[in-house]
Amino acid sequence: MVWATIVELWRDGSLIEHTLVSLRRVAVGFSIGALSGLLAGAALGLLPVVRSFVWPVFTAVAQVNMLAWLPLLVLFVGIDEELKYVCIAWSTAIPVILATKRSIAGVSPNLVELGRVFDFTPMQRYQQLSCRPHCRLCSPAFAKDWPTRGRAW
């Protein structure tokens, strides 16, 4: 019966249509969640003032499963398309925030001091001190000449 339904949906074109709508939801929700998670994680990792105020609230919210927040989200967002985007973005943002914050906050103090000595801008410090260990892990060919200093993850 399931196979017959799949074949029927394929023939009338609705299977492709619904698949494309779902892929669009995932792409938009993931993009929003990844970007907001990267920005929030960077703020938590780089700015002690933000970390002192936001980190306790964030950890409390992150401990609760996203599905438990669903009734409140339905009240605030509604039950239409926006809810689907928010759920996907929320589920994406939490791990991105955690990984980015750990990555930035986990840089060795010696490397931070080296960045100050070389008068790095905040963006250069992030690129040179936080991103290099990750790029080396992801692509050794790309980062073969980069030193392996610090433990960013």
Q: Where are the domains of the chain?
A: 2-105, 106-153
pLDDT of residue 17: 92
pLDDT of residue 63: 93
The mean pLDDT of the chain is 83
C-alpha–C-alpha distance, residues 7 and 1, integer Å = 10
**How buried is residue 43: exposed, middle or buried, by Cβ count under 10 Å (0-12/13-18/19+)?**
middle
DSSP string, 45-88: HH-HHHHHHHHHHHHHHHHS-GGGGHHHHHHHH-SSHHHHHHHH
pLDDT-derived band at 151, boundaries 50, 70, 90: very low
- With both helix axes pointing from N to C terminus, report the angle between 81-105 and 48-63 in degrees, rounded to the nearest 10: 130
